[in-house]
Structure 1
Amino acid sequence: MLRLRGPKCHERNYGFTRSRAWWTNPGKIKLSNQSITFKNTKTGKVEHISASDIDHCDWVRLADSPALKCLLKSGPMYRFGGFKDSDFDRLSAYLKKNWNMELKNVEPCLTGTNQATANFIGSVLEFENEGQLLFDIPLANVNNCSSAKNEVIMEFNQNDECAVSLMEMRLYISSDPNTEEDPAEEFKRKIAEKAGFLKESGKELAVLEQVLCATPRGRYDIKIYPTMLALHGKTFDYKIPISSILRLFLLPHQDGRRMFFVGHTAITIRYKTQHRNISHCENDEQNRK
């Protein structure tokens, strides 16, 4: 068993970057013959990754320090950061002996180029230049993608706990005279397929028409599905995973007659403004029930 443990917070801590959320959490990582176990020291949550589910592991750079990057056979990617350069030999030997897996040292491309070849590896989008990795994007972080002419625009999930957060990325996709397909549209389709954007499929459980919402402001037709809420407005549409709704509140209005129905989400609902709550004012007792 290999334990890699960070000491006090003002010293070196081993962190864990989840592909779905893309923020670093302090914690402790433990490798055994069968799995990787990570315990978040902030929340106490424990993550288990079976060694048999891992396709391959790479030694990469994450910010200013090395990291262990694990790509699962099912597509998701995990990154454990905060290592030292001296940990490579020890970790490489352990994976070779116990998992029969080579730990590849992936050197980043530092040429400063703005051109790259895009590769879809599982649910990860990697950009390479002359065989060297520029950067990668876990596509579970992408919540929307659109195309316009030769440009593809990706919008990302937001985390309010991060001081700096990537909100949008625009990529120029060069045209190919030898094909009739639109390269930008095809690239967008692949991103949507790998990212698993929320789609309205199946029969809705309930439909609420022309609901007046305080946030996001406007009237929306709300369709409730087993796994998501779909809000359709005159200008904007929103799709919210049920799993992202953390709390529901009934709050009294200051007039004493009406009530606010509020849903607090774990994700930021963003268009012209950012929201973490869905608010609706209701004055009918039967509707509230």
Structure 2
Amino acid sequence: MEFSDLARGNDKRELRKGRSHLQPAVTLPFSFYPTNLPRRPESFDNIYLDLSTQPGKCKLAESGLGWRPSGGGDTFTLDSNNIGAAQWSRASKGFELKILSRSSGVIQFDGFDQEDFERLSKAFKIWYGINVESREHAIRGWNWGKAEFTKAELAFNVLNRPAFELPYSEISNTNLAGKNEVAVEFALSADQANGTQPAGSTKNRGRKAAAGPDELVEMRFYIPGTVVKTEKGEVEKEGDEEEEEEGEAQNAANLFYETLMDKAEIGDVAGDTFATFLDVLHLTPRGRFDIDMYESSFRLRGKTYDYKIQYASIKKFFLLPKNDDTHTLIVLGLDPPLRQGQTRYPFLVMQLKLDEEISLELNMTEELLESRYKDKLEARYEEPIHQVVTKIFRGLSGKKVIMPSKDFVSHHGHSGVKCSIKANEGLLYFLDKSLIFVPKPATYIQIENIAVITMSRVGGAVSASRTFDITITLKSGMGQHQFSNINREEQQPLEEFFKAKNIKFKNEMSDDTGGLIAAAFDNEDMSSDEEGGRPDRGSADEDEESVDEDFQADSDSDVAEEYDSAHESSGGSGSDAEMEDASDADEADAMSEEEEERPKKKSKVGK
């Protein structure tokens, strides 16, 4: 109700009762009439919040705005003091109102009609003192443009118009995929559930488009050229020579990567580092990483890739000794799995030396150690590195350490059995409630899901007499796993373990046939050994200790890429040399034959 309507129904002369004569009504100045009188709240129906699958009702009031789903659920509210800017543009479901908040990133409201712009702009102007900016997106479809880092999002502009925007809160990681290429990974629904976000953030509702069948998980930017970074800003390399002398030339992709890391706060973790382990060898994914351990997460820093993993993502924690009695494996089961490009790693496999000791003092106050980590962590450690890493991970994550079962000991007194999954060699460990194969591909099988285990011989006569395979069939049609090239001597320990755990198994191997085959080829094997040749016996050749050393040395090397699939099998350790010798012998024979034939041809010509 306007101020002038308050006196419209009254007689103006009654306002001047008691006066001797009538006077004309006093006209108030126009500036006196208030223009910011309280308005009724504005409400809009069928509005989608942050691409939610369910619409709701959006209401604007003087104190702030709110959104409630139509089918019931949590209500989202945003205080008026937290609204920094607002933008209006066309979107997928009509028109979109994008709000840049001061503390919780970007909030998107989609589903408005074009006629709603006037009501929204008036409400934002009167209540929040903000002008709603109307923006038009680039629709040319070009995949080249200019990247602009704003306060809350990364905008990709084409001809000075935004083609798309990437909120920093949606970016989980970024890596240098090449010399001029930067990969940007986006947060998944599981990542959002584990992460902690400030109040008012859209992450707390879990109603993102990730609930749908498809989701964008990675985007790559190709950024050529170099730039010169000065105190005033970044200047292209082709700029003035004076500015180039002041600054330092830098790869444009590296600058983009560093800026995105800073804006998205990927490398920054709340709190100080409790402990740091340098140059730790990882078998999955392959490479060496520095491990920084924080209060709620740990960070892997490598030459190419950088990861931040929450302790809440650790579902399983294994400590597995290797058969070489020199190394031990620390295996972390992650959910959601670690992503590197299009490859997922549900298990993180570290390899540490048993005889390497470390002296470490935790960067933690005594009050925090006593109040939160009492009987879980110690102030100082001076032990082998694998024990220190295990104790700190167990104390910070609160996960129980799973070790090999005491019910199983291999023929050679080890906890693991050497075997293969297709062409990948590794160790199969038998735990109290599960089986696990490491390092690649890391395979975890729960005993309660096993229907039957079949022991059989596959392959030629020689390999079949000394190795066998086991096929694990899972319940309810969950598939099966086959482990091949197991030493024949491990049959009895495996059968005893299966009986102890009440696992149903069947033996399809014939002992009589195997004995006859082994006896028939004994003479041939002896003759081949005497002549210096050696048959390929696969990973069952326990006498060839260099196999595990070769695999170990290969693992200890600095490997930057995971996609290096050059795995050496035990029987192929000398294959390259044998092939070279064979090729040299063939060439020598061919040359001798040519020398013998040449004089014959000359004699024919002479005749």
Q: Say whether 1:16 aligns with 2:16.
A: no
Partners of 1:129 and 1:264 lie apart in 2 by: 38
Are the equivalent residues in 1 in contact too, given 2:153–2:166 (CA < 8 A)? yes
**Structure 1 residues 172, 37: closer, same or farther in 2, change over 3 A?**
same
Shift in Å at residue 185 of structure 1?
Answer: 0.4
Q: Counterpart amino acid of 2:186? A: F
Choose which of 112, 134, 137 in structure 1 pairs with 2:166: 137
Shift in Å at residue 88 of structure 1?
Answer: 1.4
Q: Say whether 1:204 aligns with 2:274.
A: yes
Q: Counterpart amino acid of 1:49? A: L
TM-score between the two structures when normalised by the length of structure 2: 0.36
Which is further off, 88-97 or 195-204? 195-204
Shift in Å at residue 57 of structure 1?
Answer: 0.4
Shift in Å at residue 145 of structure 1?
Answer: 1.2
Q: Counterpart amino acid of 1:4? A: F
Choose which of 80, 104, 116 in structure 2 pairs with 1:87: 116
Choose which of 172, 176, 179 in structure 2 pairs with 1:149: 179
Q: Counterpart amino acid of 1:3? A: S
RMSD: 4.1
Partners of 1:184 and 1:64 lie apart in 2 by: 35
Q: In structure 2, what is the equivalent of residue 3 of structure 1?
A: 43
Shift in Å at residue 66 of structure 1?
Answer: 1.0
Shift in Å at residue 239 of structure 1?
Answer: 2.4
TM-score between the two structures when normalised by the length of structure 1: 0.71
Q: Counterpart amino acid of 2:84? A: D
Q: In structure 2, what is the equivalent of residue 20 of structure 1?
A: none
**Structure 1 residues 246, 90: closer, same or farther in 2, change over 3 A?**
farther
| Residues 226-266 of structure 1: per-residue CA shift (max 9 Å, x gap) | 12144799x98752235xx389799xxxxxxxxxx97756x
Partners of 2:290 and 2:153 lie apart in 1 by: 34
| Residues 124-165 of structure 1: per-residue CA shift (max 9 Å, x gap) | 001222321111000221122122222221111123523211
Shift in Å at residue 69 of structure 1?
Answer: 0.2
Partners of 1:226 and 1:249 lie apart in 2 by: 19
**Structure 1 residues 186, 262: closer, same or farther in 2, change over 3 A?**
closer
| Residues 67-91 of structure 1: per-residue CA shift (max 9 Å, x gap) | 1101123471111112222221221
Gaps of 5+ in 1: 7-13, 18-22, 251-260
Q: Helix, strand or coil for the counterpart of 2:274?
A: coil
| Residues 95-123 of structure 1: per-residue CA shift (max 9 Å, x gap) | 12222221121111112222222111113
Choose which of 237, 255, 260 in structure 2 pairs with 1:191: 260
Gaps of 5+ in 2: 1-40, 190-209, 226-235, 318-331, 349-398, 406-607
Shift in Å at residue 269 of structure 1?
Answer: 3.5
Are the equivalent residues in 1 in contact too, given 2:273–2:293 (CA < 8 A)? no
Shift in Å at residue 53 of structure 1?
Answer: 2.0
Shift in Å at residue 187 of structure 1?
Answer: 0.6
What count of residue pairs does the alignment treat as equivalent? 258
Partners of 2:258 and 2:305 lie apart in 1 by: 21
Q: Counterpart amino acid of 1:140? A: S
Partners of 1:222 and 1:188 lie apart in 2 by: 21
Shift in Å at residue 58 of structure 1?
Answer: 0.5
Are the equivalent residues in 1 in contact too, given 2:168–2:264 (CA < 8 A)? yes
Partners of 2:301 and 2:145 lie apart in 1 by: 37
**Structure 1 residues 53, 248: closer, same or farther in 2, change over 3 A?**
same
Q: Helix, strand or coil for the counterpart of 1:36?
A: strand
| Residues 32-56 of structure 1: per-residue CA shift (max 9 Å, x gap) | 1121222345672232222222221
**Structure 1 residues 206, 43: closer, same or farther in 2, change over 3 A?**
farther
Partners of 1:37 and 1:92 lie apart in 2 by: 17
Q: Helix, strand or coil for the counterpart of 1:37?
A: strand
Percent identity over paired residues: 24
Q: In structure 1, what is the equivalent of residue 88 of structure 2?
A: 59
Shift in Å at residue 2 of structure 1?
Answer: 1.5
Q: Counterpart amino acid of 1:169? A: M
Are the equivalent residues in 1 in contact too, given 2:153–2:168 (CA < 8 A)? yes
Note the 1:250-265 alignment, pairs <5 A: none
Are the equivalent residues in 2 in contact too, given 1:143–1:157 (CA < 8 A)? yes
Q: In structure 2, what is the equivalent of residue 69 of structure 1?
A: 98
**Structure 1 residues 105, 169: closer, same or farther in 2, change over 3 A?**
same
**Structure 1 residues 95, 277: closer, same or farther in 2, change over 3 A?**
farther
Are the equivalent residues in 1 in contact too, given 2:180–2:223 (CA < 8 A)? yes
Greater C-alpha radius of gyration:
2
Q: Helix, strand or coil for the counterpart of 1:44?
A: coil
Instruction: Please state which structure has a larger fraction of its residues in strand.
Output: 1
Shift in Å at residue 225 of structure 1?
Answer: 2.5
Are the equivalent residues in 2 in contact too, given 1:262–1:280 (CA < 8 A)? no
Instruction: Please state which structure has a larger fraction of its residues in helix.
Output: 2
Q: Counterpart amino acid of 2:86? A: C
Choose which of 137, 162, 173 in structure 1 pairs with 2:223: 173
Are the equivalent residues in 2 in contact too, given 1:25–1:42 (CA < 8 A)? no
Partners of 1:54 and 1:101 lie apart in 2 by: 9
Q: In structure 2, what is the equivalent of residue 9 of structure 1?
A: none
**Structure 1 residues 41, 144: closer, same or farther in 2, change over 3 A?**
same
Are the equivalent residues in 2 in contact too, given 1:141–1:156 (CA < 8 A)? yes
Are the equivalent residues in 1 in contact too, given 2:94–2:111 (CA < 8 A)? yes
Are the equivalent residues in 2 in contact too, given 1:127–1:136 (CA < 8 A)? yes
